[in-house]
């Protein structure tokens, strides 16, 4: 039935289209990385009408004409990328830069993970056909154990989140298990999903695994509950799988927080040119000061300790991938030395270090994200889907580095070519 519907949709698109005769765009003679399986389809023409892929044929075989030709020879297209754990800027004036840094890196989908009720207005304003900004998925303001919250308040909170079309409610922590059970049952009655931290914290508020895994949680951040608890790892991995709960590891955030970087190198990573010198100097000074104050020996000890912890994270990630847990990619670039958009690639490198295949890494940033939000309009490249893809010089299944030099981004009815991307870069680059 589903296939029938899909086929009908494609046919309707094509019939409606053949009367119009000219497509808006064609990407000519390109290799497609569709991302619904690990494959590459060479020498294809991809026709786009009104922001949708209406036809994909062997190059030169279609009689469809196009107003604009995008030369795809010796190039590749794959679905655009998604960052599953972002913190939107606090002020609206900083949004444009934030959006542009993501677009420059082919990131056209963002899941906000530290919401405010204001964000609804931003989404309504910026997610329009006229404005080129990544699609925003919103989480509500976080629930935390610091709040004394009554059942009525929880009800009002979930109702507001639902009414304002927030995509998920964010949970940092909660006072106790009873409250969690009540909160979860409210979420279930409103069909709201919970995303956030695994609830197990030093203050002793522990919620039984059985309750968490059967709750409305649909994504767990930061490898919570999976690192530092080796005895529980196996059963929790099994529970994640059984309940189709996604995992967003945010490795880069830990790498930075743990100080696992060389100070001379980190200020030279791609993207740093978008920060002003003063900000960078402050970061460096703080790091230096901390390292001096702690002392050489203690720092070495600390780095060895965190280095081990990081290794555990990488091992857990590898294990999650091996059993088919769906991963969502995000650097959580909310701290020093990280930069929206650019850090997505750094996070990918950490997945690579963990031993994941390029295909698995790219899935975590494309099709898994679309699946997570149950959105069948993007995430893979095929007829009937939105034209939402990036143009690359090399096959990313073989070489991820090609993502650092994106040739073009098709998104929201528009194609940003290399010149457009360069213009956007120049608008924001500081040094
Ligand atoms: Zn975060």
The Cα 8–Cα 381 span in angstroms is 18
Distance CA 366, CA 380 (A): 7
pLDDT digit string (tens) for the chain, length 431 residues = 445 555 555 555 555 566 457 999 999 999 999 999 999 999 999 999 999 999 999 999 999 999 999 999 999 999 999 999 999 999 999 999 999 999 999 999 999 999 999 999 999 999 999 999 999 999 999 998 888 889 999 999 999 999 999 999 999 989 889 999 999 999 999 999 999 999 876 556 789 999 999 999 999 999 999 999 999 999 999 999 999 999 999 999 999 999 999 999 998 888 999 999 999 999 999 999 999 999 999 999 999 999 999 999 999 999 999 999 999 999 999 889 999 999 999 999 999 999 999 999 999 999 999 999 999 999 999 999 999 999 999 999 999 999 999 999 999 999 999 999 999 999 999 87
Query: What is the CATH class of 81-372?
Result: alpha beta
Give the residue extent of every domain in the chain.
2-79+380-428, 81-372
* Ligand 1 centroid distance, CA of 394 (Å): 32
256 CA → ligand 1 middle, Å: 13
Cα separation, 149 vs 364, in Å, equals: 35
First-last CA distance in the chain: 56
* Ligand 1 centre distance from Cα of residue 269 (Å): 21
Question: CB of 110 within 8 A of CB of 333?
Answer: no
Distance 228 CA to ligand 1 centre (A): 20
Strand-pairing partners, residue 48, are 25, 53
Q: Which residues pair with 234 in a beta bridge?
A: none
- CATH code of the region 2-79+380-428: 2.30.40.10
Maximal C-alpha separation, the chain: 75
Instruction: State the distance from the centre of ligand 1 to the C-alpha of 87, rounded, in angstroms.
Output: 6
């Amino acid at each position: 039935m589903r296939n029938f519907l899909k086929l009908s949709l494609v046919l309707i698109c094509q019939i409606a289209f053949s009367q119009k005769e000219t497509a808006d765009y064609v990407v000519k003679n390109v290799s497609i990385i569709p991302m619904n399986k690990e494959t590459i389809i060479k020498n294809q023409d991809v026709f786009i009408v009104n922001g949708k892929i209406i036809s994909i044929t062997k190059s030169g075989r279609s009689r469809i004409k196009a107003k604009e030709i995008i030369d795809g020879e010796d190039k590749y297209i794959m679905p655009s990328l998604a960052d599953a754990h972002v913190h939107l800027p606090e002020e609206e004036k900083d949004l444009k830069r934030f959006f542009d840094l993501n677009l420059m890196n082919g990131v056209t989908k963002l899941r906000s993970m530290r919401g405010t009720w204001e964000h609804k207005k931003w989404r309504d304003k910026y997610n329009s056909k006229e404005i080129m900004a990544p699609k925003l998925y919103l989480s509500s303001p976080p629930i935390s154990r610091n709040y004394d919250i009554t059942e009525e308040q929880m009800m009002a909170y979930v109702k507001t989140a639902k009414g304002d079309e927030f995509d998920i409610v964010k949970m940092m922590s909660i006072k106790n298990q009873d409250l969690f059970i009540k909160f979860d049952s409210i979420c279930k009655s409103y069909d709201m999903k919970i995303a956030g931290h695994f609830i197990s914290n030093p203050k002793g508020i522990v919620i039984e695994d059985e309750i968490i895994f059967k709750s409305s949680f649909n994504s767990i951040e930061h490898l919570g509950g999976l690192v530092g608890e080796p005895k529980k790892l196996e059963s929790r991995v099994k529970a994640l799988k059984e309940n189709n709960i996604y995992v967003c590891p945010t490795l880069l955030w830990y790498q930075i927080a743990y100080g696992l970087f060389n100070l001379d190198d980190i200020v030279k990573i791609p993207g740093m040119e978008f920060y002003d010198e003063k900000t960078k100097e402050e970061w460096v000074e703080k790091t230096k000061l901390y390292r001096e104050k702690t002392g050489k020996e203690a720092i070495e000890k600390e780095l060895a300790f965190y280095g081990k912890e990081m290794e555990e994270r990488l091992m857990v990630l590898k294990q999650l991938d091996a059993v088919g847990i769906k991963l969502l990619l995000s650097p959580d670039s909310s701290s020093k030395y990280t930069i929206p958009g650019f850090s997505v690639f750094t996070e990918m490198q950490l997945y690579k270090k963990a031993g994941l295949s390029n295909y698995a890494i790219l899935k975590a940033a494309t099709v898994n994200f679309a699946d997570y939000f149950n959105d069948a309009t993007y995430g893979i490249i095929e007829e009937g889907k939105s034209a939402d893809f990036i143009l690359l010089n090399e096959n990313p299944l073989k070489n991820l580095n090609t993502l650092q030099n994106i040739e073009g981004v098709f998104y929201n009815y528009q194609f940003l070519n290399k010149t457009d991307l360069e213009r956007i870069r120049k608008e924001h680059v500081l040094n």
